[in-house]
């Protein structure tokens, strides 16, 4: 260990950022997650983020852990403690440490002084040396090195060893051999630190109660569960990061909840298709045939599915698509997060199309909006996109526990039954019978002589007969527009948060920006800057969104993409004067931070030489 020369070491309890710099494929991820969970077990809110490469082995990966008793879950930026386990990224890892911060590293190999910084506290543990001494197996050396640094950090941060041990016991329940081996490695690290390092350092974890009954889960998992609760029976997919684990989760939840207790048969069907075109094709085929079906994909998959989206839109077939967004364009930065598929989903496919989008902010909403998406898709007979992103999808997050009302029944929408057909009810597949733009459909096989129709992507009349007549086409297009208006009344409404004082400025944000915005709002309030915020949860926009914009002089639109896609949608759909919508854009692939948002808004207000209205003094 070496001490700092000129800066005071950071002293913080339950409010700091730890970052692990690892090499992927080294088994570090599970050790890092173990550490995060241990902290949660102590009642402290932790928000980890995995920053990983598009690679299986050997490239840099980071695990960033926001520890915040105040409950902030957004990425904060920089770190207070760097666990630097990757020589490849050493220099920039060291540079990222806050002044007064700490560096933890494997001190087995001596490093020149120039490799360190003066303004940080360096904590060295000869992990490799200890491993080599304790383990002969190469793989074991690698794996237990990770557990060993968790042990050392437990000591350094003044955590309870028992909490970590309990977690290991829970995790490897029934595998006693593994438990004791892990205990051993943990202890080696813990004891080395206790004996050789100044434990505890300035960063400490104490028991707290900010976790409450929150659950710790990732968004993809929640989407898979939402699909199970939403009644999906068919899933077709093609593996693509970062969406793959949606289907993996769906698979394992189906095995758990949807296996027939009598004969072990599956009440679901999951097909790994040959590509995204086939995936969405299967979803459309299954939905057309009356099953709830979905796929999960990411940007490139969305691009491939375009033609089918147009078919589903025009032929009016339900479909649910989980788009776990990543950085584009093209292959882009496939393992980083972005909100850059809004336009390609909202207007997916050629011709005049428009689709329903939902924007969950966290795993809780991945579950609830994911389940609701199936109701909306069947009610509206159209594709519905659940627009999460890598940040929510692939990172464990503390969130509200999932809930479900057992009285709730699936809304299968306007499906004409055998009885209705038998009674001679007029069936026009594309006939708007009640003005909401939504026609009745029939499920194949319903009635021997009535209700059969021909589904096609070509123009047709209200009775599904092929037609190239202009008036038939216009009838359909106008009805589809009415249907889209109906959608506005059915999709989740936006959520308004008012500043503590009057404001002429608003902020619109959505999806994974939520935790960073929460924190930025508090930050701005603290600086005396009042802005009202609105979290948009769906497209098409309801009146509430347009009213919000109308009620403010300027509205900042905070997004994680380069081209301000939400702003474009607002301008286009709400016929808003572009000057009134100010871009706040973050698109380097890392999650947006509260600092970034707060600074951008504060700077923008300065640049505009407008001073926000301060609190009015009562006269």
Rounded Cα–Cα distance for residues 82 and 21 (Å):
7
Rounded Cα–Cα distance for residues 611 and 604 (Å):
11
Which CB, 188 or 278, lies closer to another protein?
278
Which CB, 312 or 558, lies closer to another protein?
312
Which CB, 189 or 318, lies closer to another protein?
318
CB of 456 vs another protein, minimal distance in Å: 4
3-state SS class at 307: helix
- The answer for residues whose C-beta is within 8 angstroms of residue 407's C-beta and 6 or more apart is none
- The answer for residues whose C-beta is within 8 angstroms of residue 401's C-beta and 6 or more apart is 213, 214, 215, 364
Which CB, 172 or 453, lies closer to another protein?
453
CB of 341 vs another protein, minimal distance in Å: 21
Which CB, 441 or 483, lies closer to another protein?
441
Which CB, 29 or 211, lies closer to another protein?
211
Closest CA to 392 of 345, 320, 346, 337: 337
Residues in the chain: 619
Closest CA to 200 of 13, 452, 445, 434: 13
Closest CA to 538 of 507, 584, 570, 505: 570
3-state SS class at 427: coil
Give the DSSP per-residue string, 167-202.
Answer: HHHHHTTT-HHHHHHHHHHHHHHHHHHHHHS-SS-S
Which CB, 403 or 471, lies closer to another protein?
403
3-state SS class at 276: helix
CB of 464 vs another protein, minimal distance in Å: 9
Rounded Cα–Cα distance for residues 76 and 89 (Å):
20
CB of 469 vs another protein, minimal distance in Å: 14
Rounded Cα–Cα distance for residues 378 and 12 (Å):
51
CB of 266 vs another protein, minimal distance in Å: 5
Which CB, 440 or 509, lies closer to another protein?
440
- The answer for residues whose C-beta is within 8 angstroms of residue 470's C-beta and 6 or more apart is none
Which CB, 333 or 462, lies closer to another protein?
462
Rounded Cα–Cα distance for residues 323 and 386 (Å):
6
Task: Report angle CA 363, 365, 370 to the nearest 5 degrees.
Answer: 100
Rounded Cα–Cα distance for residues 108 and 87 (Å):
13
- The answer for residues whose C-beta is within 8 angstroms of residue 306's C-beta and 6 or more apart is 344, 348, 349, 350
Which CB, 74 or 230, lies closer to another protein?
230
The widest CA-to-CA distance across the chain, in whole angstroms, is: 89
CB of 338 vs another protein, minimal distance in Å: 27
CB of 289 vs another protein, minimal distance in Å: 4
Rounded Cα–Cα distance for residues 570 and 557 (Å):
10
113 sits in which H/E element: none
CB of 396 vs another protein, minimal distance in Å: 9
Residue 582, phi then psi, degrees to nearest 5: -100, 130
Count other C-beta atoms under 10 Å from residue 448's C-beta: 10
CB of 197 vs another protein, minimal distance in Å: 32
CB of 118 vs another protein, minimal distance in Å: 42
Which CB, 274 or 575, lies closer to another protein?
274
CB of 212 vs another protein, minimal distance in Å: 10
CB of 171 vs another protein, minimal distance in Å: 12
Cis amide prior to 577 (ω within 30 degrees): no
Which CB, 266 or 474, lies closer to another protein?
266
């Amino acid at each position: 260990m070496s001490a700092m020369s000129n800066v005071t070491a950071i002293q913080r309890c339950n409010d700091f950022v730890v970052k692990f710099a690892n090499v992927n494929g080294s088994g570090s991820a599970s050790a890092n997650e173990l550490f995060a969970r241990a902290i949660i077990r102590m009642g402290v809110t932790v928000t980890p983020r995995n920053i990983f490469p598009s690679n299986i082995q050997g490239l840099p990966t980071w695990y960033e852990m926001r520890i915040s008793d105040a409950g902030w879950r957004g990425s904060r930026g920089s770190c207070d403690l760097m666990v630097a386990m990757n020589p490849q990224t050493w220099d920039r890892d060291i540079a990222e440490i806050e002044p007064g911060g700490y560096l933890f590293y494997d001190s087995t190999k001596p490093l020149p002084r120039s490799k360190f910084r003066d303004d940080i506290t360096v904590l060295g543990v000869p992990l490799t040396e200890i491993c080599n001494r304790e383990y002969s197996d190469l793989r074991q050396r690698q794996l237990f090195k990770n557990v060993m640094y968790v042990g050392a950090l437990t000591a350094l941060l003044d955590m309870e060893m028992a909490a970590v041990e309990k977690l290991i016991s829970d995790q490897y329940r029934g595998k006693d051999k593994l438990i004791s081996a892990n205990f051993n490695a943990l202890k080696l690290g813990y004891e080395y630190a206790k004996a050789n390092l100044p434990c505890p350092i300035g960063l400490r974890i104490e028991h707290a109660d900010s976790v409450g009954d929150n659950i710790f889960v990732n968004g993809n998992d929640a989407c898979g569960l939402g699909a199970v609760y939403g009644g999906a029976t068919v899933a077709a997919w093609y593996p693509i990061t970062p969406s793959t684990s949606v289907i993996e989760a769906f698979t394992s939840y189906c095995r758990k909840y949807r296996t027939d207790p009598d004969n072990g048969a599956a009440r679901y069907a999951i097909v790994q298709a040959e590509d995204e075109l086939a995936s969405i094709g299967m979803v459309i085929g299954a939905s057309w045939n009356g099953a709830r079906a979905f796929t999960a994909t990411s940007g490139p998959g969305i691009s491939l599915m375009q033609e089918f989206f147009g078919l589903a839109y025009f032929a009016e077939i339900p479909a649910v698509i989980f788009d776990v967004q990543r950085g584009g364009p093209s292959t882009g930065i496939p393992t980083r997060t972005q909100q850059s598929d809004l336009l390609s989903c909202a207007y997916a496919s050629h011709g005049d199309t428009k689709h329903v989008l939902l924007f969950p902010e966290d795993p809780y909403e991945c579950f609830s909006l994911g389940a609701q998406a199936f109701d909306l898709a069947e009610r509206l007979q159209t594709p519905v996109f659940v627009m999460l992103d890598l940040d929510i999808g692939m990172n464990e997050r503390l969130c509200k526990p999932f809930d479900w009302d057992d009285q709730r029944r699936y809304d299968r929408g306007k499906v004409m039954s055998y009885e209705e057909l038998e009674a001679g009810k007029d069936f026009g597949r594309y006939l708007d019978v009640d003005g909401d733009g939504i026609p009745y459909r029939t499920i194949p096989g319903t009635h021997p002589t009535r209700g059969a129709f021909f589904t096609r992507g070509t123009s047709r009349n209200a009775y599904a007969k092929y037609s190239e007549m202009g008036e038939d086409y216009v009838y359909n297009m106008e009805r589809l527009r009415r249907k889209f208006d109906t959608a506005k009344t059915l999709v989740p409404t936006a959520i308004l948060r008012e500043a503590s004082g009057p404001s002429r400025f608003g902020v619109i944000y959505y999806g994974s920006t939520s935790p960073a915005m929460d924190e930025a709002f508090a930050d701005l309030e603290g600086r005396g800057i009042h802005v009202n915020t609105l979290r948009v949860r769906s497209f098409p926009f309801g009146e509430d969104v347009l009213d919000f914009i109308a009620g403010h002089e300027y509205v900042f639109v905070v997004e994680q993409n380069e081209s301000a896609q939400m702003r474009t949608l607002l301008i286009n759909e709400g016929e808003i004067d572009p000057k009134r919508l100010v871009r706040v854009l973050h698109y380097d692939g890392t999650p947006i931070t509260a600092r970034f948002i707060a600074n951008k808004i504060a700077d923008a207000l300065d640049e505009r030489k407008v001073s926000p209205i301060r609190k009015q003094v009562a006269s």
